[in-house]
Amino acid sequence: MVTYVLGAGASLHAGYPLTTELGDRLHAWAQQTGFTWGGLIDELNELYGGLTDLEKILTELNDRPEGSRAATLSQTHCGSIIGALNVAIPELFYNLCQNPFQGRDLYQELARCKLENDDTIITFNYDMACERALKVEGKWEIGDGYGFSLGVAITPPSKTKLLKLHGSTNWLGILFDGHKGSSTATNVYGPRPCLFGERYFTYLGYSKDVRDPQCRHVSNPGGDPALILPALQKNFFNQTTFGNEWEPFFLCSPVRKLTISAKSSARAAFKPSIRLATASSKTT
């Protein structure tokens, strides 16, 4: 068993932006599409004179340090802007996934030439280009391929695992299990994110029969994308009135020993030189 680590930037070849490009791409996309919360992104762009340093901006929105531009806004308003960015990222990325590949599909080459049964990929990227390539090559299934089981045998067992440590654009925290009333609730989001959205299953090549049973009964949910946003200090949980939710989900370690020797570059990430130490078969 071999574990591969794909750093931020591994999906650049698939048309997804680097973190240094993400803020400005989000702003341009929001303006072009009339995104519902685009006004908040416009306001942030105006406040900072651009969104190139999105990591620093998100850090300031979270912490509102004295003297920062974010400190001129209320805590509630900063939270609203963060929420707008969190919703915008999956929408932008879904838009980008409709574009045809330009050049080599390095994820497909990884799946075809390097990946063996029981191998694991750890990625810090939000997009779904990797799992789609693995699925096309018969190396991955959604039923348990993310390192957690959907609870029923809706697909064959996945031959490999793809662990997305910063979340995924097709993961959604559905509020109160999709119920309008919350008087008896003991949590907001449940034990794990839901894999919600027919468009994402279709993108991965699944029929309408394959869905996450945790949200089959939900047609129009309120919820939050399950993404760890690129602030300098990342919160691996969602803070709610019930406490820090999803902390066990995001912080549960899937491997016992891992030696990393990798670069952020997509091409470097797929070279044999970054083949990593054998990992435990334990998954989240």
pLDDT of the residue at 219:
64
CB distance 61 to 81 below 8 Å: yes
pLDDT of the residue at 190:
79
Reported as a single tens digit per residue, the pLDDT across 109-167 is 999 999 999 999 999 999 999 999 999 999 999 999 999 999 878 899 999 999 999 99
Reported as a single tens digit per residue, the pLDDT across 59-72 is 999 999 999 999 99
pLDDT of the residue at 240:
75
pLDDT of the residue at 224:
85
**How many residues in the chain?**
284
Q: What is the pTM of this model?
A: 0.84
Reported as a single tens digit per residue, the pLDDT across 164-179 is 999 999 999 887 766 6
Per-residue pLDDT of the chain (284 residues; tens, 9 = 90+): 899 999 988 999 999 999 999 999 999 999 999 999 999 999 999 999 999 999 999 999 999 999 999 999 999 999 999 999 999 999 999 999 999 888 899 999 999 999 999 999 999 999 999 999 999 999 999 999 999 999 878 899 999 999 999 999 999 988 776 665 556 677 777 788 889 888 999 999 999 889 998 887 676 667 889 999 999 988 777 777 777 877 878 876 454 444 443 444 444 444 433 333 333 333 33
Report the 10 Å Cβ neighbour count for 239: 11
Q: Is 99 exposed, middle or buried, given 0-12, 13-18 or 19+ CB atoms closer than 10 A?
A: exposed
pLDDT of the residue at 267:
42
Q: Is 143 exposed, middle or buried, given 0-12, 13-18 or 19+ CB atoms closer than 10 A?
A: buried
